[in-house]
Chains A and B, each alone.
Chain A
Amino acid sequence: EAGVAQSPRYKIIEKRQSVAFWCNPISGHATLYWYQQILGQGPKLLIQFQNNGVVDDSQLPKDRFSAERLKGVDSTLKIQPAKLEDSAVYLCASSSQGFTGELFFGEGSRLTVL
């Protein structure tokens, strides 16, 4: 079974530039999550999709972050414009068990904003 795929693995940009991250979840997983993980901290949920609908985006900075999940499969997370404090690892995870099951994570996309 293929795991959660994310790209790019690393991205370096200057502040005020834009960046996009892509995630392909495990086939058949209805629930998809985007997390932000700052060095030394636990993951922070940015947005949760159930199929192609948003379940929770309460912690997504909507003035600069956006996310979509086309046709309930792949997802893209965009940051525009980026700030220095956006430097973090962006983790995508998927789950087949709704809200409370095991999450399967991708390797993450490490963003450095200069």
Chain B
Amino acid sequence: SQQGEEDPQALSIQEGENATMNCSYKTSINNLQWYRQNSGRGLVHLILIRSNEREKHSGRLRVTLDTSKKSSSLLITASRAADTASYFCATDGRSNYQLIWGAGTKLIIKP
């Protein structure tokens, strides 16, 4: 079963603009992770945010977590062509540590 749902399914923006994608989940979690997947490649871990954290930064990435709304957002600032990829969120439930993945947001950065 898929707990995380990313929104939007696809996003196309101009290089230099900011990109925001969202993830919603259904049950209480320990952690939420974001991964990037370039076409034809494996997934690469971007950031992990714990349930007691509200915001986390890593370079041009900013992740927020709202446990009351069961949602997270990933912001990529000053986008680059190399950011073109699919982005997935993954959550692990409090009672079941299995990671549950969403279907991803496909991000296209236009030069």
Contact = CB atoms under 8 A, between A and B. Distances in A.
Interface of A: 4, 40-45, 48, 56, 91, 93, 98-108, 110
Contacts of A44: 101
B68 to A, nearest CB: 21
Given A43-B101, A44-B101, A99-B97, A104 B92 contact: no
A102 B103 contact: no
The secondary structure that dominates the A interface is loop
A75 to B, nearest CB: 15
Contacts, number: 51
Interface string B33-52: 10100001111110010000
A42 B102 contact: yes
A41 B102 CA distance: 8
B85 to A, nearest CB: 13
Interface of B: 2, 4, 30-31, 33, 35, 40-45, 48, 88, 92, 97-99, 101-104
Nearest to A103: B45
A50 B84 CA distance: 34
Contacts of B99: 45, 100, 103
Nearest to A35: B101
A45 B30 CA distance: 18
B104 A91 contact: no
Given A91-B42, A107-B42, A108-B41, A102 B101 contact: no
Contacts of B88: 42-43
